Structures are given as structure tokens and as C-alpha cells.
Structure 1
């Protein structure tokens, strides 16, 4: 077995263990209920945000929610300070991602958002449930804080996997509880393989 293969097995074990150790709690019930209340009942939207690698995960979560019947947008925390905060509306709910829970740009975004709409609720995904961001959140979803598999222990690797999995938990449960159907999925996917598959028109040549 090569060094790369052995390293791969180690990485798979570490990240699998980290996923299995994500704390399961009623915080997920509350987060899902907040999203359903604000987006599906009040007709607001989900606004996600994060900085750096966490921001890329936040964008992916927003697009996945949008494609499955829950309108969502991603707001870059720095651009928010230059007018993009205007996308926020009073019935929205925010999903903020910060592994440290101390990301300056995200803390500043919360202050700006609450200056505009003080009652907009905050769902936070973080590796540090005792952080300043967690302290001001309505709901905190902890990744479990597993160490990064990066050999330096620095590069977002394990943490971004946890963030993605938590996003999947939220998306799937909102879909389940709102009764999102295959037919509704098809209405949002007009092209590509997934669009064809959702309409029962599968073709191995489509992408």
C-alpha cells in the first residue's frame, strides 16, 4: 500500500469519526423550525454567510436550500458593509458559519443586521459553542470541534466537512417537514441530468 493510500485511509477514518461525533441535540429541531417559520410561513428567506472557506460552504448551503423549495441567498459579510445588507428583510432568518465563532466580519455583520432589523433570528454553525458568536445566536449548532486533518492542523478540512454535513441535515429535514415533492423539484430544475431525472426522462448523455 502506498503512502497516499494509507494517508487516504487515515483521513477517511478521521473525518468519518468527526461526522459521527457531531453533537445531536434539540438545537436542530429549533433551527429547522426557525427556517420553516420564517421562510415557509412568513414568506421571508434564509440568508447565509461566512468568511473564507466557511463562506464557500455557506454559499453551497444557500443554493441547495433554494433548489429544494426554501428561498435562500448568500450574503458576503464584507460586501454587506457596502450596501449588500439591503438584501435582508424583517422576516428573514440568518444562518452564519464560523469555525472559531470569532470571525470579525461575521460579528460585524450581526451588528449591522440587528441595527437594521433587531428581531432577525440567528442560527450559527461553529466549532466553538462558547464563542462570542454562539453567545449572541438564537440557535447554535456545534460541529464538535474535531481537529483538522491538515498536517499543519490549520487548513479548513475536517471543519468544512462538518459544516457541509450540518447543512445537509438542515436541508433534508426542512424538505421532509414541508413535504417537498419530486414534482416541485422538477419545476426548479429545467435543464441537465437532475432535471431530466426528476421528470422521469433520464438520459446518461445529459449533464
Structure 2
């Protein structure tokens, strides 16, 4: 009588099968890990782009809401900070606020920042807010930092005014030349003649999300009937 062969796997076959399954598991894990990382990077880029878009929208909104008051500054760039006197969006009809934009190192990284004062209802309050905005851009204390918002990492930025039919630096001598000559009987002008447009040039640092130079132009709505582009 012949010997009966029992069906089953030998030890070698079992080890080969386990090795193949382990190899497939490692390959599958690497594929899933790569997909997860790619999804996280895509989400991070989308978040950065959205944050920058919100910041630029706020920039345009500040300029669109700019308001000129008698014998008060409405727009000023001193090389460190752009200050804007604008209508309050939190409490419309209850005073004005000073919105300020500047660049400062935050935790060792250059950052584009926005600051906004408390609503001002008197000339003294407005002048104080105007001075606070300048102090904030130079040496922000805890009180000033509570009113600031970090927008995006920023390597450097530039501001240009459109006046006299051309773009020029806000601190150039063209500012005086752009002011129209008025007769002696004309009413007093605000402290500074507003430009017809403001150009914002942002240099975004190298990074995994967005980088390069971004230019945004704003035109006074009273001139074109439109808004920034």
C-alpha cells in the first residue's frame, strides 16, 4: 500500500507567502503615506493662497474705505508703515479707525502685518491712533500686538503712488509737483493730496507654497468707478 500525501503548505512555502504579504504591506503603506503627504502639502498650499487672498482683499477694502477729514491725514507712507484713515467696519457711523500695514520679523521670519486702532470719534483720538500706528511699526508692545494680524511671510515690499500720470515713490519730490495749483480763495486742502492710485509690490520668500513677486494696483473708486485690480 502506497503512502498517503496530506494536502497543505510546507514551511518554506509559508515563509515565502509571509514575505510576499509583508512586502505588499510595506509597498501599500508607502503609497498611502505618499498620498497623505501630498494631500497635506496641497491643503497647506491652498490655505496659504487663501490667507494671502484674504489679506489682499483686506488691503483693498482699507483703501476703498479711506476717508478724508478736514485737516487730518488720510493716507501716508513713511518708508516703514502705510497708514490709512478709514471708516469703521465694526461700528459704521461711530467714528473712524486707522488701519496700518507694515513688515516685521515675527519669530525670526519676515511677516506682512496689519494693525487697526480702536474707533476714534474726536480729533485727539484720531491723532493718537495715527501716532500709535507709527509706534507699532517700529517697536510694538504687548498692547499694540493684540491689535495686529499676521497675513503672510514676506521678504520685502514696496509702495508706489500714481500721480501726475506716472508711478513714483511716495517720498519722492513728485508729491509736491503733483499737487494742483489753487487760487488764494480756494478752501484749504487736507494735509496731503491723495494719489490717484497705490501700487503694492510684495516679494514672497522661497517656500513650499507660494513664492515670487506679486503686484497689486488700487485705483481711487471716485476716479474710475471701479476698485482695485
More strand by share: 2
- Larger RCO (CA within 8 A; separation ≥ 6): 1
The structure carrying a bigger helix percent of its residues is 1
Q: Which has the larger radius of gyration?
A: 2
Structure 1 length-normalised TM: 0.27
